[in-house]
Chains A and B, each alone.
Chain A
Amino acid sequence: MTFPENLLYSEEHEWVEKISPKKVRVGITDHAQAELGDIVFVELPELGKEVTAGDTLAVVESVKSAADVYSPVSGKVIEVNEELNDRPELINEDPYGEGWIAVIELEDPAELENLMTADEYKRLIGEE
């Protein structure tokens, strides 16, 4: 299982990648996708949706159940990964790359300080 050093992580198993001072890309971690199993449907957020950290951003469904993806940050959804409509399995195959879920324009970049480093996240899930 991998947890790239350049990403930040939430307790709810989302990852956050800074792609500019005010924009982040988010998705779910390798650990989360493994726990869920085969992902067969992703309900993506609508473009322009305003979210507060902790709000439901998306829903990922495995064969067995549906799981909420909580937004790790507050801001506005400015891009969604439409590819997941046709290939939800990208989240299993490449959770940090092609399996990204959305890009959020940050309301307050200081919020990123609440997130965990890769090492802290690994400790949380007992991967260390």
Chain B
Amino acid sequence: MARRTAMYELHKELGARFTEFGGWEMPVRYTTIKEEHMAVRENAGVFDLSHMGEIRVKGKDAVSFLGYVLPSRVKSVKVGKAVYTPMLNENAGIVDDLIFYRIAEDEYLLIVNAANVEKDFAHLAKHAGEKEVEIIDESAQWSLVALQGPKAESILSKVVEGVDVKEITFFGFAFGKIAGMDVSIARTGYTGEDGFEILVQWDKGPDLMKILLDAGKDEGVLPCGLGARDSLRLEAGFPLYGEDMDESITPVEANLMRFIRMKKKDFLGKEALQRKIEEDPLLRRTGIVMLDRAIPRHGNKIYKDSKEIGYVSSGTFGPVVGAGVAQVYIPYTLEEGTEIMVEIRGKLHPAKVVGLPIYRKDK
């Protein structure tokens, strides 16, 4: 049976419709996906992300261990800063993508995808070997609530004590209090808007969500489900693990090389990744917008000049764009603006390559 977060009853009170995701019963929407999507683009939205996993890595060898098991910067990350990175296996296949916080010199907290918690934990444990590190799955201890949108900062400032929200920089985090509850506030997100992801003790999740909704009610804040989370991240160009990438894909094809530090002496998967770079694979993740009203979905084939050239890895209706949008794997030699065709239910529909992100405030 699907698991429920501490906020399940609150979601019901707020009128949520539920869906199963990563083994969890989560709100897919409370009002409509479009309305929630636009609330985040124009005002702010509050999301329950407590299904996501938290894995703490600490100890004398935490720096060298994570430095090896993650391909990004690790050692040079300052305490109080967060980093997004894929995690790779020996073949440079993507095991998961995650954000880690450097909590202390020898302590990091990893925020991982709900469906991958056990896999990630086993992967980390396997590669820890003789290193002096503790790897602790704290997923059951933490509720995670995201407040996202241009008004997130002003809303959060009303309720936070002990830290000036304005001082938290992009991908920085700080500890503070909200209504007496200890919280960790990170300026991170998955929507393409400014915003925060806030960790609080598991059973305090509903209180935190209520406080944020209440603090933002005059500014148009809405509770948002996974439906809007998906359409927002798709427009913003963020990949979704399990749809846009998995262990058969490396950061080269997934267009995530900017997060990888190839200059590092060694990391898990480096050799294979180096080979992949030299191999120069043709299909790479990019973005498209439909030119008619059809909606592309995961698995749709892509054609150009009657030849199959790639596939849709995830797609939906993009409320800001006002058309179907998708992340796709097609030859990177195709320039932005190139017209292609997407096969949807046996018919070809025209689309245009736009690159990533598909939507940006200034694009």
Contact = CB atoms under 8 A, between A and B. Distances in A.
Interface of A: 37-38, 40-41, 43, 59, 61-64, 66, 85, 88
Contacts of A64: 28-29, 33, 227, 230, 316
Contact of B293 (A37, A38, A40): A40
List the 10 shortest-distance A-B pairs measured between CB atoms, nearest first.
A40-B317, A63-B33, A63-B317, A38-B34, A38-B32, A61-B295, A41-B293, A64-B227, A41-B295, A37-B32
B294 interface: yes
Contacts of B231: 63
Nearest to A34: B17
B205 interface: no
18 contacts: A37-B32, A38-B35, A40-B34, A40-B293, A40-B317, A41-B294, A41-B295, A43-B294, A62-B33, A62-B317, A63-B37, A63-B231, A63-B317, A64-B28, A64-B33, A64-B316, A66-B295, A66-B297
B27 interface: no
B126 interface: no
Contacts of B37: 63
Contacts of B293: 40-41, 85, 88
A61 B317 contact: yes
Interface of B: 17, 28-29, 32-35, 37, 227, 230-231, 293-295, 297, 316-317, 319, 324, 345
Contacts of A43: 294, 345
Given A37-B32, A37-B227, A41-B324, A63 B294 contact: no
B316 to A, nearest CB: 6
B28 to A, nearest CB: 7
A41 to B, nearest CB: 5
Contacts of A66: 295, 297, 345
A85 B293 CA distance: 8
A111 B134 CA distance: 69
Contacts of A38: 32-35, 317
Contacts of A59: 345
Contact of A37 (B33, B295, B297): B33
Nearest to A84: B293
In this complex, the member of B32, B295, B345 whose beta carbon has the largest number of chain A beta carbons within 10 angstroms is: B295
A37 B37 CA distance: 13
A88 B230 CA distance: 21
Contacts of B227: 37, 63-64
B144 to A, nearest CB: 22
A1 to B, nearest CB: 14
B315 to A, nearest CB: 11
Nearest to B230: A64
B342 to A, nearest CB: 13
A43 B35 CA distance: 23
B345 A37 contact: no
B345 A41 contact: no
Contacts of A41: 293-295, 317, 324
Given A37-B33, A41-B294, A63-B317, 5 more contacts: A38-B32, A40-B317, A41-B295, A59-B345, A66-B345
Nearest to A89: B34
B89 to A, nearest CB: 31
In this complex, the member of A40, A66, A88 whose beta carbon has the largest number of chain B beta carbons within 10 angstroms is: A40
A63 B297 contact: no
A99 to B, nearest CB: 16
B295 A40 contact: yes
Contacts of A61: 295, 317
A69 B358 CA distance: 31
A34 to B, nearest CB: 9
Contacts of A40: 34, 293, 295, 317, 324
B236 to A, nearest CB: 15
A66 B324 CA distance: 12
